[in-house]
């Protein structure tokens, strides 16, 4: 068991780094988390939802082109078999 302490500590350190970088993208600071945890969670959730609302229009626009081409390729692939 002691032999696994170092690899586990390194993995936890890397995970903390990634989570910290992700939170910084949303403008979260350690002080925000300590002073106003639920407000920070709420604002982060709103930012994520705003991102998906913004991106949904582009997904729909791309799907108008991509999905029919994919269906045609699927049908032609099955015909050739």
Hey, what are 46's tokens?
Answer: 């709103």
pLDDT in tens, 30-70: 887 888 888 878 888 898 899 999 999 999 999 999 999 99
44 versus 76: the higher-pLDDT residue is: 76
72 versus 4: the higher-pLDDT residue is: 72
18 pLDDT higher than 70: yes
pTM value surpassing 0.75: no
pLDDT at 62: 96
39 closest CA partner among 50, 51, 26, 52: 26
């Amino acid at each position: 068991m002691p032999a696994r302490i170092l690899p586990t500590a390194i993995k936890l350190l890397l995970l903390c780094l990634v989570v910290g970088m992700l939170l910084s993208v949303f403008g979260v600071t350690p002080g925000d988390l300590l002073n106003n945890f639920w407000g920070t969670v709420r604002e982060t959730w709103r930012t994520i939802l705003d991102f998906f609302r913004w991106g949904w229009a582009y997904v729909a626009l791309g799907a108008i082109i991509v999905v029919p081409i994919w269906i045609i390729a699927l049908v032609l692939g099955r015909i050739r078999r």
